[in-house]
Amino acid sequence: MRILLIISTITFHTALFGQSTFRVISKEGTQPLIGATAAIWSESSNASEWIISDENGFFKTGLSFPLEAEIRHVGYRNVRVKIDNQRHVIALEIEAQSLEQVVVTGQFQPQSAKNSVYRVRTIGSDRLNQQAATDLFDVLSSELNLNLSRDNATGRTSISMQGLGGQYVKVLLDGVPMTGRSGVGNDIDLGQINVSEVARIEMVEGPMAVNYGADALAGVINIITKKDIERRFELSAALQEETIGKEYSWFNHGLHTPSVRLGVKINEKWYSQVNGRLLRSGGWKGNSTGRTHDWYPKKQAMCSWLTRFELENFNIYYRLDYLKETLENLGVKNDNNPLIDAFAIDEEYLSDRWSLQLQSEWEVPWATLNTIFSFNDYSRTTHQFSRNLLTNQKTTTLSTEQETLFYKTFFTRQTLNQLMEGDWGSVQLGTELTHDIAGGTTLSEGNKAQTDLGFFVASEVLLGKTLKVRPGLRWTRNSIFQTSPTFSVNVSYNVTPSLTWRSSYGRGFRAPSLRELHHEFINANHNILGNPNLEPEYSHSLNTDISYEWQELPLTLNASAFLNDFDNLITFFTPEGTSNQATSYTNLLKYQTKGLSLTGSTKFFDVDLHGGFSFIGQYQRLSESEVIPEFTYQFQFNAQTTYRIKALENLQVAAFYKFNGANKSYLLDAEGTPALRKVESFHLFDLTLSKSFYSGLSLSAGSRNVLDVTNVNNSLPGGAHGGGEQTPVLNGRSYFLQIRYELKY
């Protein structure tokens, strides 16, 4: 027996010395952590491998000490350590931020993104700071299934989602529809949103018409602003200086963006904050000469004030926002007449917007009541004048060149959430009212008005612990058009702890907007007319996605697909084969978009990596009568990565890349033969460096449009602002430096 004991002891120690082991535990509970992952490498052999902890929290490896390892476990902070012997024990701390991110868009109550019946994409403040974004174009242009464009003539930034234009994408500010030059919630100019006060952006693709109304057929972008601070007082100030292409000077050229935010917790119940931001862009000359610019100079002033009162079961806040924007179109210098001073015909595009919000939440024992009241007052004026270039005096030209447009929108929404809440689920009831008034010289004569009154009901039904079904129904009454109910059903199924399947169907309805009905824009460069005979649109939308999150690896994959089918789609129409005909709006009997995407994210050592690809297909109407493909497809690919260099005290290097494939369509040429027209593919690439200091100071520097994309080939015929062989995309490679300081106590 003694001999057997000696032999077993020798065998055990031989195995022990042939294999290196170390252990991982929870710092709070000292229990072993099962399924933790470790990326290790040996300093002596210069070899590395991935290993997983066993049921006792032990890692076992054939590599020899000393070792360096990065240890990870879901719900705990990652740690990077050096390990010298078998007795080494690593204790991991619970990381509060590792819990599932809370989302609010389309939810009955705030809940984790993983438990949401919708797939919600979130862009947080870390990403916004990494990109040092000056507007939302900088942030959203690298996202899949989105196409963003900037109009160098009007200065506006527009968006499409799932191959559908901005009129199908509901843009919300804290859940409230925004108003722009196309009306409420329709094709909002993303460049007129103060990005410096954005806390995060939540995006939901797919039909959201039951929750948010008729113009949420492609999806919703909810911009959630900052409404709180960590301590009693917080002052944040930033200054960003950026070239525009190669153009820069302290005052007249380049991009200059100072901003400031002050928040104060007056006591436990009251909080108040103010925000202010200025933007001055010198424009970009590009290929223009003299006074003219390819991209017009712009000035913006944005400010807001918020105050909040909060009790244990009740909170209410009031918010006031103001925007003033001036876009300058500088004309050609005219000095042909020696008897008069040199002059130029200039134009200014002036935008003003006041936005008021009052929101409250009241928790009672049987439900939660959320109430929103808002008023938006938006106006845009085009002022053409002759400028004396010696005295700078302005003289108004013909009154026909002075254009005005205004929209006034009252919006209110009340929802009762978590009604009849129990183990089976809960119910939501809601009402929504939108009243639009519009007028001006770019609409047909007289002020126009339109009212939408909606009632909706939805429920979340829990079938066991893993299956969630949400049916919803909305009734809408429109002051101009006869409407029909819209309904939707969403399903979320946690097949396993790692695998989640979501699917949705939505029946959509959208009445023509006031702009589509009454647009009247006729001058030397435009001939666009509304169509009062338009009919409402109807649609069917299907979306599905599967997400898989590996428990043993820091890797998540998501595959998704969508189909949108329209009856009476409203679109621009220009009669072919005729000259001097107005571009107007018309209904298409049939239209579809469809697509699929695959995305993934991982974290390896100090590198975060996100990326994927997508295909978006658009129906070709000519296929009904001509031998051409029924769909054309656009391919997109993106990659976003962040590398934290710990040796340089957590200096962050971030890169954002997106490939936008060619955008194709079939049109009839001069001979009446179908021909493929397309906007060629292009690449977007931004690179930034950022670093925060303990004093509250942070610095960011980098380059946008590193690949120096300016124009892309375009074989499409000229649009409302021109066309030809080139389409403007960006204004050349630029460089920026941002300085930010935060004072908290």
- Identify the CA nearest to 346 among candidates 290, 405, 279, 280: 290
Q: Average pLDDT, stretch 410-435?
A: 93
Peptide bond before residue 66 is cis, with ω within 30 degrees of 0: yes
Question: Positive or negative, the Cα torsion across 190, 191, 192, 195?
Answer: positive
Q: Summarize pLDDT for 491-534 with one digit per residue, the tens.
A: 999 999 889 999 999 998 888 888 888 877 665 556 678 888 99
Q: What average pLDDT does this structure show over 14-30?
A: 65
Q: How many CB atoms sit inside 10 A of residue 443's CB?
A: 22
SS3 397: coil
User: pLDDT of 651-699, one tens digit each?
Assistant: 999 999 999 999 999 888 777 788 888 889 999 999 999 998 877 899 9
Q: Give residue 16's pLDDT band: very low, low, confident or very high (50, 70, 90).
A: very low
Which of 14-18, 266-270, 546-550 is predicted least confidently?
A: 14-18
CB 536 within 8 A of CB 481: yes
Task: Express as a percent the part of the chain with pLDDT over 70.
Answer: 90
Residue 337 has a pLDDT of 87
Nearest to 656 by CA among 602, 692, 610: 610
* Out of 304-313, 393-402, 557-566, 577-586, least confident range: 577-586
Find all residues with CB under 8 Å of 170, minimum gap 6, and list them: 177, 185, 208, 212, 213, 215, 216, 219, 220, 221
Q: What is the pLDDT of residues 277-303, one digit of tens each?
A: 999 999 999 889 999 999 999 999 999
Amino acid 185: pLDDT: 57
pLDDT of res. 99: 44
**What three-state secondary structure class fits 452?**
strand
Q: In the structure, what pLDDT confidence band is assigned to residue 721 with cuts at 50, 70 and 90?
A: very low
Q: Which of 251, 185, 182 is nearest to 213 (CA)?
A: 185
Residue whose entry in the numeric block shows the structure tokens 């002022």:
383
Do 409 and 434 meet the contact criterion of CB atoms below 8 Å apart?
A: yes
Question: Measured between alpha carbons, how far is 586 from 303 in angstroms, rounded to an integer?
Answer: 39
368-412 pLDDT tens trace: 999 999 999 999 998 889 999 999 898 887 665 678 889 999 999
Pairing of strands 89-92, 20-26: parallel
pLDDT score at 706: 96
Instruction: Give the mean pLDDT of 702-706.
Output: 96
Instruction: Give the tens place of pLDDT for each residue, 460-490.
Output: 999 988 899 999 999 999 999 888 889 999 9
- How much is the pLDDT for 704? 95
- φ, ψ of residue 13 to 5 degrees: the values are -70, -30
157 vs 511, more confident = 511
CA-to-CA dists, residue 83 to 65, 144, 400, 604, angstroms: 7, 42, 79, 19
159: nearest Cα among 107, 126, 201, 125: 201
Residues in the chain: 745
pLDDT-based confidence at 15, cuts 50/70/90? very low
Considering only 129-138, 420-429, 511-520, which range has the smallest mean pLDDT?
Answer: 511-520
Q: Measured between alpha carbons, how far is 129 from 127 in angstroms, rounded to an integer?
A: 5
| Cα 49 from Cα 74, distance rounded (Å) | 20
Query: What pLDDT is recorded for position 287?
Result: 87
pLDDT level of residue 632 (50, 70, 90 thresholds): very high
Q: Which residue, 36, 4, 44, is CA-closest to 20? A: 44
pLDDT confidence bin for 3, thresholds 50/70/90:
very low
Given this model, what pLDDT does residue 11 score? Answer: 38
CB 199 within 8 Å of CB 193: no
State the pLDDT confidence band at 115, using cuts at 50, 70 and 90: confident
Asked if pLDDT for residue 143 goes beyond 60, the answer is yes
